[in-house]
Amino acid sequence: MKLSTLFFAAVAGSAVAVPLAKEQKKRDSVFQWVGANESGAEFGEDNIPGVWGTDYIFPDVSAITTLIDKGMNIFRVQFMMERLAPDSMTGSYDDAYLKNLTTVVDAVTDAGVHVILDPHNYGRFNGEIITSTSDFQTFWKNLAGQFKSNSLVVFDTNNEYHDMDQELVLNLNQAAIDGIREAGATQYIFVEGNSWSGAWTWVDVNDNMKNLEDPEDKIVYQMHQYLDTDGSGTHEECVSGTIGEERVTSATQWLKDNKKVGIIGEFAGGNNDQCRTALKGMLEHLAENTDVWKGVLWWAAGPWWGDYMYNMEPPSGVAYTGMLDVLQTYLG
Ligand SMILES: *[C@@H]1O[C@H](CO)[C@@H](O)[C@H](O)[C@H]1NC(C)=O
Ligand SMILES: CC(=O)N[C@H]1CO[C@H](CO)[C@@H](O)[C@@H]1O
C-alpha cells in the first residue's frame, strides 16, 4: 500500500489534498529520530546521467512503510546533484528526476515522518571538488525553494566531504545554510564535516564547524560512524564490543562544549555478536546523552542492496532480519 493512500484516505473527497504544514507523528522513544538511509537514486555514479531502472532506482515506498510500521521516523534519501541539475550546479532541473524524488519525499512526509534530502556528492560535482561557494549557495536556494512548504523535509548540505580544505568545508556548509534561508525555507539543516563526517575524528578535523551560523537556529551536526578497523563501513567485523561507545565519546563532549546538537546519520555493523554488542554500546551512550544526540540512521535500506552485509530493506535484507532488534529499544 502506498503511504499517500493511507494518509489521503482521511481527506478523500476534499479539494484541498495537500496540507501546508505537516506535523510529525507522535512517538515514544528516547531519541527524536530513528531511521534508515534510503539508497538507490545515487547508484551508478559512473554513469551520468544514467538510465533509471538500469543504473539507478528510487526507494520503494512500500518498503519504507514497513520500516515506519516498525517504528522508524526518519529516512535519508540519497540522490546525485548531477542527475538533478545536469547542465551545471546552478542550472535547470531534469524534471523527471525531480518528480521521482518528490514522489518519494511526499509519500514519506505524508506518513508524518521526516525525510532528509541527501545530495550524495562528497563535496564534488562532476568529479571536481566544489570550490564556488556562490554556485553552491544557488544550488541550495533552488532546491530549498522546491521543498520549503513541506515542514518535514530536512536539508543535508552534502554527503561526506573528504580530502578537502577545511575552511572550504566550513564555507560550503555556510553557503548551503545561506541559500536555504534565502529561499525562505525554515526547516532543519543537517551539516556534515570533512573526513567523511566521521564522529571519531570530528574533534581533530572539524572543530571549525562550530562557527556555522543559522538565523533559524536549526542546525544539526550529522556525523557518521562505522565500527570496522578503518571506520569505512566496508567490513562485517567490528573492532571490539566497546568500539561503538569509544568512537563517539569525544564527539559527545564537543557537542556539549559547544552547545550544539548532533545525529549519527550513518552507522552499521555486520550481522554478528561482536557488532551487536558494539552497536548496543554506542546506542546506549547516545541515549544517555539525548541533550546533544537527537537520533540515529542505519546504513542502509533501498531496493538494490541484495545480499549486502548491512541491508536493512524489508522483507529479507540481512540487517532487517538480523539486526533490527539492536534498534528495538529505540524505535517508537
Ligand atoms: C522516473 O520514474 C519512472 C517510473 O516511475 C521512470 O519511468 C522514469 O524513467 C524515471 N525518470 C527518471 C529521470 O528517473
Ligand atoms: C559505507 C557504505 O556502504 N558506502 C556505500 C554507500 O553507497 C554507495 C553507493 O550509493 C557505495 O558506493 C558505498 O560503498
Asked if residue 235 has pLDDT above 60, the reply is yes
In this prediction the pTM is: 0.91
Tell me how far the alpha carbon of residue 295 lies from the centroid of ligand 1, in angstroms. 32
Task: Determine the average pLDDT of the residues in 258-284.
Answer: 98
Question: What is the per-residue pLDDT for 21?
Answer: 66
Q: Evaluate if residue 108 carries a pLDDT over 70.
A: yes
Residue 7 in this model has a pLDDT that exceeds 80 = no
pLDDT value, residue 332: 81
Question: Considering the domain 33-328 in this protein, what is its CATH number?
Answer: 3.20.20.80
Point out the ligand nearest to the CA of residue 96: 1
Q: How much of the chain exceeds pLDDT 70, in percent?
A: 94
Ligand 1 mean position, distance from CA 83 (Å): 12
Domain ranges in the chain are: 33-328
Annotated catalytic, 128?
no
| pLDDT classification of 20: cutoffs 50, 70, 90 | very low
Which pLDDT band, with edges at 50, 70 and 90, does 17 fall under? Answer: very low
Q: State percent of the chain over pLDDT 90.
A: 90
What average pLDDT is seen over the chain?
93
Q: For residue 64, count CB atoms less than 10 angstroms from its CB and return exposed for 0-12, middle for 13-18, buried for 19 or more.
A: buried
Residue nearest to atom 10 of ligand 2 (CA): 43
Given this model, what pLDDT does residue 24 score? Answer: 80
pLDDT of 12 higher than 50: no
- Using the predicted structure, report yes or no on whether residue 19 has a pLDDT greater than 90: no
Give me the catalytic one of 82, 192, 245, 266. 266
314 lines ligand 2 (CB under 6 A): no
97 touches ligand 1 (CB under 6 Å): yes
Q: Which ligand 2 atom is at minimum distance from the Cα of 233?
A: 1
Please check the confidence at residue 15 and state whether its pLDDT lies above 80. no
Strand ranges (E), 171-288? 189-191, 219-226, 262-268
The tens digit of pLDDT for each residue in 182-223 reads 999 999 999 999 999 999 999 999 999 999 999 999 999 999
> What's the pLDDT band for 23 if we cut at 50, 70, 90?
confident
CA distance to 25, 173, 196, 254, 296, per residue, from 199 (Å): 29, 17, 9, 10, 12
Distance 94 CA to ligand 2 centre (A): 24
CB 153 within 8 A of CB 187: yes
How many angstroms does the Cα of residue 305 sit away from the middle of ligand 2? Answer: 10
Name the closest-CA residue to atom 11, ligand 2.
43
Task: Respond yes or no: is residue 167 known to be catalytic.
Answer: no
Instruction: Provide the pLDDT for residue 13.
Output: 31
pLDDT at 10 over 60: no
For residue 100 and ligand 1, the question of a CB distance below 6 A is answered with yes
Give the active site residue among 42, 160, 192, 313. Answer: 160
Mutational pocket test of ligand 1: of 52, 80, 101, the residue with most ligand atoms within 8 Å of the beta carbon: 52
Q: What's the 237 CA to ligand 2 centre distance in angstroms?
A: 17
> Position of cell 561507545?
245
Contact 189, 176 (CB under 8 A): yes
Beta-carbon contacts of 46 under 8 Å, excluding residues fewer than 6 positions away, are none
59 falls in which pLDDT band (50, 70, 90)? Answer: very high
Taking the C-alpha atoms of residue 217 and residue 248, their distance in angstroms, rounded to an integer, is 24
Taking the C-alpha atoms of residue 6 and residue 8, their distance in angstroms, rounded to an integer, is 6
Alpha carbon of 38 to ligand 2 centroid (Å)? 11
- Residue 194 has a pLDDT of 98
The response to whether residue 96 sits with its C-beta less than 6 Å from ligand 1 reads yes
Ligand 1 pocket, residue 43 CB under 6 Å:
no
Q: Is 233 in the pocket of ligand 2 (CB under 6 A)?
A: yes
